[in-house]
Amino acid sequence: MKPPEYFDLEPFNKAFIDFTKVNVEERAKFRKAVESKKKEVIMLFCNDDGEMEKGRNKDLGELG
């Protein structure tokens, strides 16, 4: 099995590599920043009413 042709893992791979290159303190700062802005992060995938918007998210389980 392979992912659909339109699905590109390269951005995820690059982000993961960049994340693991920094030291543990910087990763902890990033995690804390994401946790403190959890609502803002979730809203990136939602419409203005807070409902998940189909065009902004993808169920990774569907890709397999």
Alpha-carbon span 16 to 25, nearest angstrom: 16
Q: pTM of the entire structure?
A: 0.53
Please report whether residue 53 resides in a domain. yes
Domain total for the chain?
A: 1
Q: What is the pLDDT of residues 8-59, one digit of tens each?
A: 778 888 989 998 999 999 999 989 998 999 988 888 888 888 888 877 776 6
Supply the range of the domain harboring residue 29: 10-62
Q: Which of 41, 36, 37 is nearest to 57 (CA)?
A: 41
